[in-house]
Amino acid sequence: MTDAIRYEKGQDNIVVLTIDMPGQSANTMNAVYREAMGQIVARLEAEKDSIAGVIITSAKKTFFAGGDLNELIKVTKADAKPFYDMILNIKGQLRRLETLGKPVVAAINGAALGGGWEICLACHHRIALDSSSVQLGLPEVTLGLLPGGGGVVRMVRLLGLEKALPYLAEGKKVRPDAALKAGLIHDIAATPEEMLSKARAWIAANPAAKQPWDVQGYKIPGGTPSSPAVAQMLAIAPSVLRDKTKGCFPAPEKIMCAAVEGAQVDFDTAQIIEARYFTELTTGQVAKNMIGTFWFQLNEINAGSSRPQGIPPYVTKKVGVLGAGMMGAGIAYVSAAAGIEVVLKDVSVEAAEKGKAYSAKLLDKKVSKGHMTAEKRDAFLARIKPTASDADLEGCDLIIEAVFEDRGLKAKVNAAAEAAALPEAVIASNTSTLPITGLATAVQKQDKFIGLHFFSPVDKMPLVEIIRGEQTSDETLARGFDYVLQIKKTPIVVEDSRGFFTSRVFGTFTNEGIAMLGEGVSAAMIENEARKAGMPVGPLAISDEVSMSLMDHIRKQTVADLAAEGKSIPEHPAFAVIDLMLKEYKRPGKAAGGGFYDYPEGGKKHLWPELKARFEKADAQISQEDVRDRILFIQAIETVRCVEEGVLKSVADANIGSIFGIGFAAWTGGALQFINQYGVKDFVARAQYLAEQYGERFLPPALLLEKAAKGEGF
């Protein structure tokens, strides 16, 4: 009847439906599924008098992966009506299944996410395999969507509004044990055989099963929006949500609308409400931006699109980390977490031990929360060896230098480490600004030298920027790429240049914010509009975190380096403000106790009150839109320059690198996708306006003008 869903009726009259989409590694809700499910439901209805019950399972490693993003990304506003009708058809199939009048059990043998979890929710009983590979949830919000196959409607009716919203609006995913505690599933099985056996037993014991919401007298757990407790929660929920999204992400807001509105009407009307909001999001630009970048481009990167081809994969066995400060300690942690032996070296054993203590602190927290056993923690820590001796680097096949941004110091420690490590070892620098080709001259084998730029805090930040120097070999680049994947980070590859990609673009963000302050624009407005534009933190706050002393040090190093090459650094209006903050006001940043912000002990940080008197001018205020655009446009323009100069080789690396590395507004899909979705010609016109008003740094590069003339995007 259909290859996509096998229909097998046993002697006990229980039908086992095995979803096995042909030619796919995972099951998805595409056209093949829709046709197959339609046929299956019709057959079940026709044969229901001879059926005892239904079990739904999967032939794949995962149960069901969800909606087909290849289809969803192509849906336009012109397709809204047929798309909406198709969604109602999918919902209708699942509704017919749950109202068949026979017990239906989901035997969840692998991850059931998105549409997969929605299929499970339409079953009367859910049993999951007790396996670490099984995850359950509705992550659609992370791609700018909402669960459109009944997920919002059923989760609210299963758990109640308050408990359902974290799964819906935050994309919370859970393992089977947590799902059982939360009431998402009813049982757990140790093996697939036990799972099917339990499913059959439940069907036999519950021949007249119904969904809770189909039982007469059913009430939503916790109450409807009109009940006092829920009304109280909903009174503040929109403002809490808006504080998180800053109005940039429509999906969480539409999810809340669908959940709250759907809780006030009958089931079928709630399904229509959900379908309308789902159609609105799917046809909107933000979902296109997020699906394109966080799914297609991220998968492209992780599949090795920027890795040199034809070189066998390499597994790093022992890494030597030079410098046990915050960055070195973090690199040691993520390496040991991946099962790699680590030698953590600093000037003294005490300093190295302090770096190891960072890992101990993170692991102790996991143990106290029950996320890790004490034995596993001890085994983890045993993989990190603190030392002050180069001799302990013997046997290392990778060295990562993470000392202060000083060329002389880096040269000294890298040369010593190369002599102690394996002859074939790759030597990497975690520099964020110094050109790799210059640093490579300190070692004998420059072809084995590379940049591995981590981001702070290393244990949380998902990106590593790999920098290829002039002498770096393909094999070295491939080994660096493989190591980044080994430690479960996302690698982007850039060519060597001052500031590489991320630090260079990040500098334009902080400098633009500081320049606006120097012009007299209100500091509060700069910070607020940056967050409204989608940046996680304002440019003044992040400058305090980085420290203006470090920014000044990097500028001086750059001036000296360029002077040696007979070049000069372009002046920027931010420099005068930084000089004032450092020399006159003695406020370098957070670590020194104050910068653009005050940091009262035990209190919440707030903008330094003196900024108003010392910088702000009533007649210098500009529009909120100009503040937001200056912050986003300057970063996008610098990203185009990186492409133009050959620093960036791929659009995927640019978009993912800008979001994961420097927090570029995620709703845009990244710095280049921001230009695409704005419209290249419109972007050029707006950039020219900004250049006239605020300086030549906004002038569109030649590559951008060329793209606009041809009507091309990135």
Q: Are residues 128 and 210 in the same domain?
A: yes
* CB atoms near residue 686 (< 10 Å): 17
268, 283, 298: which is the final residue of a domain? 283
> Distance between CA atoms of 141 and 128, rounded to whole angstroms?
24
What pLDDT is attached to residue 1? 52
Q: Are residues 51 and 89 in the same domain?
A: yes
Q: Which helix (H) or strand (E) holds 4?
A: none
Give the chain's length. 714
Report CA-CA distances (Å) from 536 to 243, 401, 552.
11, 29, 24
DSSP state of 292: I
Q: Are residues 694 and 572 in the same domain?
A: yes
Q: Are residues 619 and 637 in the same domain?
A: yes
Report CA-CA distances (Å) from 1 to 5, 93, 661.
9, 17, 50
Mark whether 453 is an active-site residue. yes
Tokens 């899909």 correspond to 669
Tokens 């403002």 correspond to 239
Give the DSSP letter string of 640-707: HHHHHTTSB--HHHHHHHHHHHH---GGGTSHHHHHHHH-HHHHHHHHHHHHHHH-GGGSPPHHHHHH
What pLDDT is attached to residue 569? 78
Residue 309 forms part of a structural domain: no
Residue 154 forms part of a structural domain: yes
What pLDDT is attached to residue 233? 87
Give me the CATH number covering residue 211.
3.90.226.10
What pLDDT is attached to residue 299? 96
**Residue in 38, 621, 652 with CA at minimum distance from that of residue 304:** 652
> Distance between CA atoms of 474 and 380, rounded to whole angstroms?
32
Buried-state track 160-184, b at ≥16 Cβ within 10 A, e below 16: bbbbbbebbbbbbbbbbeebbebeb
Tokens 């979001």 correspond to 659
Cβ(305)–Cβ(328) below 8 Å: no
pTM of the entire structure? 0.93
Q: Are residues 685 and 571 in the same domain?
A: yes
> Distance between CA atoms of 124 and 211, rounded to whole angstroms?
6
> Distance between CA atoms of 273 and 175, rounded to whole angstroms?
30
How large is the C-alpha radius of gyration of the chain? Answer: 28
Report CA-CA distances (Å) from 648 to 18, 122, 327, 657, 674.
45, 47, 25, 10, 16
Q: Are residues 275 and 333 in the same domain?
A: no
Q: Which amino acid is at 194?
A: E
- The DSSP bridge partners found for residue 467 are 451, 494
Q: Are residues 273 and 364 in the same domain?
A: no
228, 262, 283: which is the final residue of a domain? 283
Q: How far is CA 226 from the centre of its chain?
A: 36
Where residue 521 falls (left for φ over 0; alpha for ψ -120 to 50; beta otherwise) is beta
Residue 669 forms part of a structural domain: no
> Distance between CA atoms of 490 and 236, rounded to whole angstroms?
37
Tokens representing 646? 């050959």
Q: Which helix (H) or strand (E) holds 444?
A: none
- The DSSP bridge partners found for residue 493 are 466
Tokens 């407790």 correspond to 229
Cβ(589)–Cβ(595) below 8 Å: yes
Positive or negative: CA dihedral 221, 227, 232, 236: positive
End-to-end CA distance of the chain: 44
Domain that holds residue 566: 503-646+679-710
Q: Are residues 562 and 704 in the same domain?
A: yes
Q: Are residues 247 and 393 in the same domain?
A: no
∠ CA 328-465-669 to the nearest 5 degrees?
Answer: 125
Give me the CATH number covering residue 338.
3.40.50.720
Cβ(467)–Cβ(500) below 8 Å: yes
Q: Which amino acid is at 625?
A: E
Q: Are residues 332 and 441 in the same domain?
A: yes
**Residue in 518, 680, 492 with CA at minimum distance from that of residue 611:** 518
10-residue mean pLDDT series, the chain (714 residues) = 88 97 94 96 97 98 93 96 98 98 98 98 98 95 97 98 95 96 98 98 97 96 91 88 91 97 97 98 98 97 96 98 97 98 98 97 95 95 98 98 93 97 98 93 98 96 97 98 98 94 96 98 98 97 96 88 84 96 97 96 94 95 98 99 97 98 97 98 98 97 97 96
483, 498, 513: which is the final residue of a domain? 498
Q: How many separate domains does the chain show?
A: 3
What pLDDT is attached to residue 537? 96
Tokens 């590694």 correspond to 25
Residue 68 forms part of a structural domain: yes
Q: Are residues 127 and 59 in the same domain?
A: yes
Residue 300 forms part of a structural domain: no
Give the DSSP letter string of 79-135: GHHHHHHHHHHHHHHHHHHHTSSS-EEEEE-S-EETHHHHHHHTSSEEEEE--TT--
Collapsing DSSP to helix, strand or coil, 303 comes out as: coil
Cβ(657)–Cβ(635) below 8 Å: no
Cβ(103)–Cβ(203) below 8 Å: yes
Cβ(479)–Cβ(426) below 8 Å: yes
**Residue in 39, 47, 49 with CA at minimum distance from that of residue 4:** 39
**Residue in 433, 458, 268 with CA at minimum distance from that of residue 344:** 458
What pLDDT is attached to residue 557? 84
> Distance between CA atoms of 391 and 87, rounded to whole angstroms?
64
Please count the CA atoms within 13 angstroms of the CA of 68 that sit on its side-chain side.
17
**Residue in 383, 398, 400 with CA at minimum distance from that of residue 341:** 383
Residue 455 forms part of a structural domain: yes
Q: Are residues 623 and 531 in the same domain?
A: yes
> Distance between CA atoms of 521 and 232, rounded to whole angstroms?
38
**Diameter of the chain measured on Cα atoms:** 88
Q: Which amino acid is at 667?
A: W
Q: Is the bond into 600 cis (omega within 30 degrees of 0)?
A: no
Phi and psi (nearest 5°) for 108? -90, 100
One of 453, 553, 572, 606 is an active-site residue; which one? 453
DSSP state of 78: G
Collapsing DSSP to helix, strand or coil, 596 comes out as: coil
> Distance between CA atoms of 40 and 13, rounded to whole angstroms?
16
